């Protein structure tokens, strides 16, 4: 399985157009050592002809164009992308679906409530139905392993499977109260565990919380790309960009009590990588103490173009 990071920043990207924080200013004027990043997007390939998108970022068009493996080789083969898996109904996770709207038949996996939020409460997404055949929605049930792609040849054991892992989050603000009342909150934010043969990859760009069973899903994976949005719980309050804490926004901060860096992950097997990094997060500055602390704690920091082969 190939795992390619097309974008590694949180909503807004890095630098963010309206932000003058030390990171964004420092990147613009070249006074800090840091890389620009587009908004979080990952693509996974079980074999050279097929790619699965994990979420659909607001930068998706530009990210596809920057990745030759994702482009159309000939009109008879069609695009190597036909399937998208969604971890939430957040704007950052779904806006890119509109970039894929060019009469292309697509298959989208999500929990039932995420699908309802998009198709019944946001009529704009109905544009995906104008392809022939129209978009095909598939339901992700929590904690159940389902097949995504058959093996590349009959009898081979290299098919791709997926499990949706609930992460104790809540629905985005724009979702109606009636949908919030009628659907289990566990469906709001999920992690995706992708399995091919004996290899496992866990993807969770938003981690509101990790219970015992979701932590087990991380620990049994060979690679985990996890929420690195904020360094501190009050990061956006201090930067005067919001009144909300990281936890209010559905992100475990990296540092402090009961934070991501303090979680008792089993050390050894799992390569742990931070993704969905907000422009205010000091770990983006490669010469900062926070960057060093994360590296010393055994984590890697995702960048656009990073790739893993499992
Ligand atoms: C989020 O997921 O909460 C956003 O990406 C954060 C942001 O837009 O700064
Ligand atoms: Mn986000
Ligand atoms: Zn900024």
Of all atoms in ligand 1, which is nearest to the CA of residue 206?
Answer: 2
Average pLDDT, the chain: 96
SS3 227: strand
Burial status of residue 212 (CB atoms within 10 A of its CB: 0-12, 13-18, 19 or more) = exposed
CA 306 to chain centre: 14
Return the percentage of the chain with pLDDT > 70, whole number.
100
Position 153 scores a pLDDT of: 81
Q: Looking at the CA of 279, which ligand is closest? A: 3
pTM of the complete model beyond 0.75 = yes
Q: For residue 146, is pLDDT > 90?
A: yes
Q: How many angstroms does the Cα of residue 251 sit away from the middle of ligand 2?
A: 9
User: Where would I find the H helices in 156-211?
Assistant: 177-182
Confidence band of 75 (pLDDT split at 50, 70, 90): confident
Mean pLDDT for 93-122 is 96
- Substitution site in 7, 9, 10, 279 for ligand 1 pocket (most atoms within 8 Å of beta carbon): 10
| Atom number of ligand 1 nearest to Cα 90 | 2
User: Is the Cβ atom of 12 under 6 angstroms away from ligand 1?
Assistant: yes
What separation in Å is there between the alpha carbon of 165 and the centre of ligand 2?
18
Write b or e for each residue in 158-178: b if 16 or more Cβ atoms lie within 10 A of its Cβ, otherwise e: ebbbbbbbbbbbebbeebeee
Summarised one tens digit per residue, pLDDT across range 260-310 is: 999 999 988 999 999 999 999 999 999 999 999 999 999 999 999 999 999
pLDDT band at 152 (very low <50, low <70, confident <90, very high): confident
Band (100; pLDDT cuts 50, 70, 90): very high
Confidence band, pLDDT 50/70/90 cuts, at residue 131: very high
| CA of 241, closest atom in ligand 1 | 9
Average pLDDT over residues 148-167: 90
Ligand 1 pocket, 11 CB below 6 A?
Answer: yes
Over range 200-207, report the average pLDDT: 98
**Residue-level pLDDT at 76:** 83
Which of 229, 238, 246, when mutated, tests ligand 1's pocket best, judged by the most ligand atoms within 8 Å of its CB? 229
CA 198 to ligand 2 centroid distance, Å: 30
Per-residue confidence (pLDDT) for residue 73, from 0 to 100: 86
How far is the centre of ligand 2, averaged over its atoms, from the C-alpha of 229 (Å)?
A: 8
Q: Provide the 8-state DSSP code for 40.
A: P
Q: Is 10 in the pocket of ligand 1 (CB under 6 A)?
A: yes
Specify whether the CB–CB gap between 242 and 251 falls below 8 A.
Answer: no
In the prediction, which pLDDT does 13 show? 98
């Amino acid at each position: 399985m190939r795992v390619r990071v097309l974008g590694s920043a949180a909503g807004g990207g890095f630098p963010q157009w309206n932000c003058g924080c030390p990171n964004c200013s420092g990147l613009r004027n070249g006074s800090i050592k840091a890389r620009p990043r587009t908004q979080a997007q990952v693509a996974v390939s079980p074999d050279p002809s097929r790619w699965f998108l994990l979420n659909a970022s607001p930068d998706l068009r530009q990210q596809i164009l920057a990745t030759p493996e994702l482009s159309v080789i000939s009109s008879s083969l069609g695009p190597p992308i036909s399937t998208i898996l969604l971890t939430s109904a957040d704007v950052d996770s779904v806006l890119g679906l509109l970039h894929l709207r060019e009469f292309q038949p697509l298959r989208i996996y999500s929990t039932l409530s995420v699908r309802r939020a998009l198709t019944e409460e946001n009529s704009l997404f109905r544009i995906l139905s104008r392809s022939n055949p129209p978009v095909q929605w598939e339901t992700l049930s929590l904690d159940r392993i389902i097949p995504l792609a058959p093996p590349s040849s009959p009898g081979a054991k290299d098919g791709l499977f997926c499990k949706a892992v609930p992460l104790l989050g809540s629905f985005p603000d724009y979702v109606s109260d009636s949908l919030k009342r009628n659907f289990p909150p566990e469906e709001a934010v999920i992690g995706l565990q992708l399995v091919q043969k004996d290899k496992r990859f866990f993807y969770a760009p938003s981690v509101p919380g990790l219970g015992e069973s979701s932590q087990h899903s991380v620990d049994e994976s060979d690679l985990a790309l996890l929420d690195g949005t904020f360094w501190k719980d009050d990061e956006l309050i201090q930067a005067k960009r919001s009144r909300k804490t990281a936890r209010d926004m559905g992100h475990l901060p990296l540092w402090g009590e009961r934070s991501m860096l303090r979680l008792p992950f089993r050390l050894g097997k799992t390569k742990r990588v931070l993704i969905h990094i907000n422009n205010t997060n000091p770990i983006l500055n490669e010469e900062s103490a926070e960057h060093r602390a994360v590296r010393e704690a055994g984590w890697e920091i995702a960048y656009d173009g990073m790739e893993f082969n499992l």
